[in-house]
Chains A and B, each alone.
Chain A
Amino acid sequence: MSFIGKRHGLAETPPVAAVAANALALQRLKETRSMPARQLPATRAAQGAIRIENVSVEFKRNGATSIAVKDINIEIAAGEFTALLGPSGCGKSTLLNVIGGMVRPTRGETCIDGMAVREPSATCGVVFQQHSLFPWMTALDNVAFGPRMLGHEAPLAVAREFLAMVGLEKFARAYPAQLSGGMQQRVGIARALAIRPPVLLMDEPFGALDAQTRSIMQEELLKIWSELKTTVVFVTHDVDEAIFLSDRIFVMGNAPGCIKDDIRVGLDRPRTPEVVQSPGYGSLHRRVNRLIREESMKVFNGTVN
């Protein structure tokens, strides 16, 4: 247990950004290498706290400046499952990309465990909407890519472990094109988690799946999350999905993108699809739905462009 203190020391060093973040990820990977997955939560509970300070993102298109998100301030605790919920065009994906370092904010700063995010790094695992697996690699090699990049000694062993976690060990040698959409997303989740990132960013990961598959994937995701306890930021426009999965929902509004409400979901865990019949669900759903509808109507009526 002595390395917990050591890691705390590292996390509070001034932002040397990605290099340090990668060194941290590497060290974490080495420490956790030989441990069975079930022991992990206790050892890394304090990681993955996100702080977003006064973040604005502007895009320049044909000389005109459009504001994607404006003055966002959010703090997400380590290990929290949060949803960014909003109608299309509210900048929720942009905000996710800011956390992941894929978009640089025009103003403001994002920190993960006290370190400023400057560029994409192994601090954040990312699961994209679709087609993000490397098509030239087998499922196994896709999952092994991260451990390999971070200098892990046995990347294939790690990859097998995580493929098994999403139930796809039998498809290790298949190429992405030979897998169904749902299977591809499971490989994507395994790939993102295989480097044991403090933060998992998910950009409408189940948006392209059919309703049945989606519901199964949601349950599966919660099961995995309850084992790894990583911080999750989940972008969706589906109210039910957000409530079913999250501890906390940030409802976003349009033009410019902003946080309209910060809602705590107090529903018991572990959650099953029957959660919709629990007493708190209905009022929560109505409340969130009203907020989303207001924003969608604004766009629909052309109040905002």
Chain B
Amino acid sequence: MDRTMQSEYFKKALRLPALPAWLSGAAWMAAGLGILALIWTLVALRLNNPVLLPTPTVVLEGFYQLFADGLLLKDVVASLKRVFIGFLIASAIGVPLAMLLAYFVTLRRLILPVVNLIRPIPPIAWIPIAILWFGIGDKPSFFITAIAAFFPIFLNSFFGGISVEDQHLNAARCLGAKKVSLVVRIMFPSALPMIWTGLKIGLGQSWMAVVTAELIAAQSGLGYMIQVSRLNLETSYVLVGMVTIGVLGSLMALALTSVERYVLPWKQK
């Protein structure tokens, strides 16, 4: 159940500020980032070693170079593609499987132990197998991002599914609903808030995993760029990659949170 508690936490942490407070929220964020940049600059100047830690301005310069060159965009697109495809595969398998296991007890007894056995294996441990099976490039990365996204999506959906109210199932049966309708029209929507949380966490996990996968099993993408820049002692490019990952990751989380009201209209105040 640690995942569900975690998901509750994320739900709270990711909530957008209310509209009137929007501007003050932005101001606070700018202040926070400003403090971070200030500390970073001070430490970098004190160290006075661009290989260990370049100043933010040097990193910004590196960002501009990579961006103007088109390299950065190419790597971002490569990484995003891997994240989304892996995430889609994980969702397409995780959500329906979770619904089936939540509804059919026999299937649950059969498959849940297997899932629990595979769950503790971290995505990074799958990389050697992924390379053996799929070689180097997109395919092993799809596999790794899918594995990373699968468990939060599946587990949240599953717990959402089994916590469906008996009363809702009985009410639906008394209105003529059969198995398929019970799963699709009752269990699925009643689990949707949890499924949505799972998707948000899954996307984050998948984003983290893509970098890991690209460090080893790819020749493009932000992870690959970080790895190559480290070997070339281009620390500013390493930091460009890291900042880009951070910014894109938060934007994705923000995007999911901002469409939530359309996915879960009954949950809005």
Contacts and interface: CB of A to CB of B under 8 A. Distances in A.
- Whether A associates with B in a native complex is yes
Contact of B174 (A26, A100, A134, A177): A100
Given A135-B266, A136-B266, A149-B181, A191 B175 contact: yes
A225 interface: no
Contact of B176 (A135, A150, A175): A150
Given A134-B168, A136-B266, A175-B266, A192 B174 contact: yes
Contact of B170 (A25, A102, A146, A176): A102
Contact of B167 (A101, A122, A132, A145): A132
17 contacts: A119-B173, A121-B173, A122-B175, A124-B174, A125-B175, A128-B167, A131-B167, A132-B165, A134-B190, A135-B190, A135-B266, A136-B266, A146-B175, A150-B176, A176-B266, A177-B266, A192-B174
B168 A122 contact: no
Interface in A135-169: 135-137, 145-146, 149-150
Interface of B: 165, 167-168, 170-178, 181, 185-186, 189-190, 192, 264-266
Nearest to A178: B266
Q: Is the interface of A mostly helix, strand, loop or mixed?
A: loop
A195 B192 contact: no
A45 to B, nearest CB: 22
Interface in A5-40: 22, 25-26
B138 to A, nearest CB: 37
Nearest to A143: B175
A125 B192 CA distance: 27
Contacts of A25: 176
Nearest to B178: A149
Contacts of B190: 134-136
A85 interface: no
Interface residues of A, number: 31
A176 B168 CA distance: 13
Interface string A95-129: 00000111000000000000000011110111010
Given A134-B186, A134-B189, A192-B175, 15 more contacts: A25-B176, A100-B170, A100-B174, A119-B173, A126-B171, A132-B165, A132-B168, A132-B171, A134-B168, A137-B266, A149-B177, A175-B266, A176-B266, A177-B266, A195-B176
Interface in A172-219: 175-177, 191-192, 195, 197
Given A136-B266, A175-B265, A175-B266, A121 B174 contact: yes
A195 B174 CA distance: 10
A26 B175 CA distance: 11
A115 to B, nearest CB: 15
A145 B185 CA distance: 9
A146 B172 CA distance: 8
